[in-house]
Amino acid sequence: MQNKEIYHQMVNGGYKLTKPRKLIAKWIVGHKGVFSALEICRSLTDLDRVTIYRTIKLFCSLDIIHTVLSLNGEQYYERHATRGHHHHIVCTMCKKSECVPCEVPEIEISSFKKIHHSLVFTGLCDKCTINS
């Protein structure tokens, strides 16, 4: 998902393309892997935390990003996957993450839409295993 796609979803959802929303969208597009609100706060220091958290909530409601895991009390997100559903393995020491394919077919439940599921594997990456 690129900036233009995110902007399109915001406009179609009836939301304005504010400067903070554009900056956060650009950061998300440029970031590889899962991320937390705290990481955005540390990178975009000119934006206040409330704006960042509200934008994350908005992006989740528009299915631009979705929650993938909670680790040590911190929520992590990922851009909506265009390459298919997958899971993650996360290093408990450095927080490095990698994608793990998911072979479960999309579920259809008549009374629910936009169904997501997640499974998280945790462990130590090669670098942290050597250093521990």
Q: Could you report the per-residue pLDDT of 79-95, keeping only the tens digit for each?
A: 876 556 777 787 878 87
Yes or no: say if 62 and 9 are a contact pair by the CB < 8 Å rule.
yes
Which of the pair, 76 or 11, is modelled with greater confidence? 11
Kindly report the average pLDDT of the chain as a whole number.
84
Per-domain boundaries in the chain:
3-131
DSSP string, 79-114: EPPSS--EEEEEETTT--EEEEE--PPPP--TT--S
**Of residues 48 and 105, more confidently modeled:** 48
Rounded-to-5 percentages of helix, strand, coil across the chain: 35, 25, 40
Show Cβ contacts of residue 74 under 8 Å, excluding neighbours closer than 6 positions.
36, 38
Higher-confidence residue: 68 or 15?
A: 15
Q: Which fold, 3-131? A: Arc Repressor Mutant, subunit A (1.10.10)
Most confident of 16-20, 61-65, 75-79, 83-87: 16-20
